[in-house]
Structure 1
């Protein structure tokens, strides 16, 4: 895997797979709905605003924001299979008029300039190969004074163990994580000024524990799916152990970041 397009394709295929749904459930980020609500509150979302959800996945965040905050949402994702699921669930829940889903790349958003009051990106920015371009796209589609809410994996300057500096770890939102200061610098170059950050490392630890428990359960109850997908369960469990150690050692974390367009 040598190009950014290969990496993005790998991510899209992975996160639209049955195995990921089995292991992660519907929420693909630490903290689940509770941390999404915290991000929305920090953004100051209110009825009538228009929000963009980048890397929307199966649309759990989009539906929550429509239901609880009265906004309209456009979701963008690079996996057609996942988008079909998202559209089906939105229609099933009677939200078809409030949510629109688009096939697209975070580094080339298929949406017009100065359109959104807020952009949300949960546990995805650290996966984007060209973060400067993605940040510039966030800024482009935001209205002046609009806000970006990131929730993402963070890394200290000490870096990660070599075992976690792999393609698999990068796809799993770990290997290309950055310190919060790096994220803020990337956003600043795009015209987005960071005004607030909040650490939520405990949410990452809980998700690691949940993944480990779900993997053990899947091994017992869904062995054929795992075998067909070629997933190496022992390797996955090694990654969860390494990731947990990195969090408890203070090298890996999770944070919310709010930035405003100049």
Structure 2
């Protein structure tokens, strides 16, 4: 099936430290592409896969589940691990949940995590009904493109595929159950004005991952990596990686 323009995956080798970027639910690699290019420009290798069912059509996405999305980031992580001395993982929204799951499974093989508006709990009323709605509706209004900055558009679906969404609670439950396994350094960016993800998830992370640093974004909505605070996320993540990497990183 043809890809939406801009939804292509992005991979580039630029150094011995690798960063795996995980995009969000119904979004695409486009939402993280500027972040990835920034990290490459500063000497890091980046892998930004396209999750199955994303970047094509919401109808196709209805044939995929969270296990498919996790399998793709797992594959990308193993590939990056084979090419780099160490790996950091970052994610936006549901991509943050996938990043946390990778850290829970792989432990010290992941050097650190950077999460932007992570979605780890079922705090959206409509999604709570998804396991029932999937028998009656194939889609509902979409959640993509929550961006404050004028003129910026996220490449994502304008409809939410209900069968795919119905698989999210299982992912969230699994991630929450094992949060105590996350011992790596964690940096979280949280938009104060987010119309997609409520503050509940960040509160859970604050309580369950005591080493996590939470930074509030005051000028962005949910897709903060394309919004007014994007440069702050990019620079902050680079500083975080420089602080916690055990191998040298190029200095500008």
Q: Name the TM-score, length of structure 2 as normaliser.
A: 0.39
Q: Which has the larger radius of gyration?
A: 1
Q: Name the TM-score, length of structure 1 as normaliser.
A: 0.38
